[in-house]
Structure 1
Amino acid sequence: MSDKIKVLICGTGFAGQGHADAFRYAGAEIVGIVGRTEAVVHQVAKDMNIPYAGTDWAQALVDCQPDVVSIGTPGGAHVKPIKQAIEFGCHVFCDKPLTQSGETAEELYQLAKMKKVKTAFAASFRYMPEVLHAKRLVEEGVIGEPLEVESNSHFNLERDIPFGWSHRKEDGGGRLNNNFTHVLSIVTSVVGEKILSIMGEVRDDLGKAPIVDGVHNFKTRRDFIPKDLNDPSLEWGESNVEWSYNVLAQLQSPFAKKPVSVMFKHGGLHPRFNEDHIVFYGSKGAIYIKGHYAAGPLYVYGANKEWQEVPLPADIAADVPDVDGDTERNWRYLIRELVKDIKGEEVAPYQTFKEGSQYQKLIDLIRKNDNWVDVSHL
């Protein structure tokens, strides 16, 4: 009998397959995979050498007897399988967003606490190497007291990507669920985890998208954009989520006397002119990281009044999982921590359903768009 941690995967697309690879990297055993479409799940199981494949999640829990389940489906499909897994006594790894609403996310968090199972919430770009580097530099006092942070990104996504879960609030779509969760996690990991206040506004710049059959893997959806968008027989779906957002937040930092101000700016459909970036400003200097998710390189502005590129420390580089793709690398980092924790090994704190439920409640507040003051009469 194997003494490896047994994992059951929910979802057969990019996330489900990526989670399976990441758990194997951490030394776990993938005992089964569940998907909606029988032909697809059996093909994925065959391709990935997974012994069990099925379409009935509840039955798979009984048949596979997993220690951990990994949820790699869109956010709107998370609640039921996670509830069933927790009731079954399983630990849970879940991709972001935790659910489609703050209410259901809080329900899952409380259930996991009551059942005393471990959970991990994969807003996992906080494990980008240069984010870990920035965290160390702030802790060392390189920029003095953190004062404010700026996160700026423009994705220039194709407007005609086929209609799917990313266009629907009820399915866990929207840029807050799928971008803000990561950048908020990045900033809090560097500055401080305590979020004191938040406000924001959202905007749907898209409106509609073409309905196309056959899209299964999120990463290949661009391949299905119709060649003739003026075809009168083409059907269109209506978007009901944000494609741009502006958010202001205040964080409590153990390295600052006053709350740290944070500005998050994201345009999902808009082109960038200069580099996307995240900047941490302090009383003695600043840290600038290129890239919307802080891919690097990293620069420090210090006493010499110049920006200087600072190489990634060797120990941080050596601890980064060796795999292509930032998303895949960060899954492997977090899953490695979760597996160690389940085994009883000492690990650094990681994000759980506590943060997952908090983030979802924050997103609900931001989406209300009720922070405006009417000054038209002035």
Structure 2
Amino acid sequence: MSKSIKVLIQGTGFAGQGHAEAFRSVGAEVVGIVGRTQSVVEQVAKDMAIPFAGTDWQQALEQCKPDVVSIATPGGAHEEAITQAIECGCHVFSDKPLTATGESAKKLHELAAAKKVKTAFAASFRYMPDVIYAKRIVAAGAIGEPLEVECISHFNLERDIPFGWSHRKEDGGGRLNNNFTHKLSIVTSIIGEKILSIMGEVRDDLGRAPIVEGVHNFKKRRDFIPDDLNDPELKWGESNVEWSYTVLAKLESELAEKPVSVLFKHGGLHPRFNEDHIVIYGSKGAIYIKGHYGSGPLYFYDANNDWTRLPLPDDIVDNTPQGEGDTERNWRYLIRELVKDIKGEKVAPYQTFKEGAQYQQLIDIIRKNDNWVDVSHLQ
């Protein structure tokens, strides 16, 4: 494919604009953008010099005739839009979660496979440079057999962030959809993609959030926290998703005789005492990456019982796309792989709707929260 790849964006907020810039960074042509509110989508299109702006997704598909669509709306709005795009023969780049349920996500994966379109699932923090370096170290056998992985994070999010999609299961909210997807992707990229078993505990520590009008950009939602939370006129929305989770998993690794144990512990509303981290323990050493999504730096524990900070290799640094932040750079990395694949170029395996559907089915299992054994009768 020698012609410029045409892209249609769904979503006008932080993600939609970020996806558009990411596709442009690899030479694709952004031909249109669709949003809920005409005035908003027209302004975003004007600011970003996108020729088509509208609120009707089906009309945009027919008029713009894109090669690829980029889905940058909350997960609860994905299913219909992605279905329509696949039926039109479009390749699809979708932010996480793929949909709000495992069943609907599986349907999208099966439809994409049947229609033979390419898909990319943006649980994309596996492309953090130090995560890529950790994968290389493990693959080289430097820590021996991988034995277990520990992922700990506490975000201390403001409890009074305005009520919205992130508070609702049916809209794709919850910490599993918006944190665990990235963590699982990071760990599978390092250890191995085959997930053998999983169990978990979830908890809603929030309860409710104030309803505030005018929130458009997800990253700026903190700016809309009401000054007076005791105002009797203030309305409240009820949360129905998890804000904390603990998940245990077992992964298969080609480098280990036994399944690798993984702990995912996340508190969305809880303060951290020390840094968030990801640690990979092996039979001969260990790797510690600072940061909830592996932002670094990376430390290696060797046979001398010392932790040593390792600088990133030049080739990993040079292969990292430019971008304002980690999220934007990781979008650009995955979109670069997708576009190369569409053009028929050779690329390393990347996450598709197969993983998006698998992750959503796992989240459904974890949310059942039915792994407890009643021991109250034991003396």
TM-score normalised to structure 2 length: 0.99
After superposition, the C-alpha distances for 1:89-128 in whole angstroms (9 at most, x for unaligned) are: 0000000000000000000000000000000000000000
Q: Does 1:229 align with 2:229?
A: yes
SS of 1:120 mapped into structure 2: strand
SS of 1:78 mapped into structure 2: helix
Number of aligned pairs? 377
Structure-2 residue corresponding to 1:187: 187
AA aligned opposite 2:177: N
Structure-2 residue corresponding to 1:243: 243
Structure-1 residue corresponding to 2:318: 318
CA distance in 2, matches of 1:317, 1:96: 26
After superposition, the C-alpha distances for 1:347-373 in whole angstroms (9 at most, x for unaligned) are: 000000000000000000000010000
Structure-1 residue corresponding to 2:331: 331
SS of 1:136 mapped into structure 2: helix
Q: Does 1:115 align with 2:97?
A: no
Unaligned runs of 5+ in 2: none
CA distance in 1, matches of 2:375, 2:342: 55
Q: Deviation of residue 324 (structure 1)? A: 1.7
Runs of 4+ displaced beyond 4 Å: none
CA distance in 1, matches of 2:97, 2:322: 26
SS of 1:149 mapped into structure 2: strand
Q: Does 1:348 align with 2:332?
A: no
CA distance in 2, matches of 1:196, 1:3: 42
Within a 5 Å distance, the mapping from 1:1-378 to structure 2 comes to 3-378=3-378
CA distance in 1, matches of 2:96, 2:320: 21
CA distance in 2, matches of 1:26, 1:118: 17
CA distance in 2, matches of 1:255, 1:193: 13
AA aligned opposite 2:120: A
SS of 1:121 mapped into structure 2: strand
After superposition, the C-alpha distances for 1:4-32 in whole angstroms (9 at most, x for unaligned) are: 00000000001100000000001100000
CA distance in 2, matches of 1:168, 1:51: 33
AA aligned opposite 1:228: D
Supply the RMSD in Å over aligned alpha carbons.
0.6
CA distance in 2, matches of 1:208, 1:26: 42
After superposition, the C-alpha distances for 1:307-359 in whole angstroms (9 at most, x for unaligned) are: 00000000000000111200000000000000000000000000000000000
AA aligned opposite 1:7: V
CA distance in 2, matches of 1:192, 1:106: 21
Q: Deviation of residue 246 (structure 1)? A: 0.2
CA distance in 2, matches of 1:264, 1:63: 45
Q: Deviation of residue 53 (structure 1)? A: 0.3
CA distance in 2, matches of 1:71, 1:323: 19
CA distance in 2, matches of 1:179, 1:242: 11
AA aligned opposite 1:224: F
After superposition, the C-alpha distances for 1:282-304 in whole angstroms (9 at most, x for unaligned) are: 00000000000000000000111
AA aligned opposite 1:314: D
AA aligned opposite 1:340: K
AA aligned opposite 1:195: I
CA distance in 2, matches of 1:142, 1:149: 15
SS of 1:296 mapped into structure 2: coil
AA aligned opposite 1:191: I
Q: Sequence identity of aligned pairs in percent? A: 79
SS of 1:247 mapped into structure 2: strand
SS of 1:106 mapped into structure 2: helix
CA distance in 2, matches of 1:83, 1:275: 41
CA distance in 2, matches of 1:11, 1:235: 27
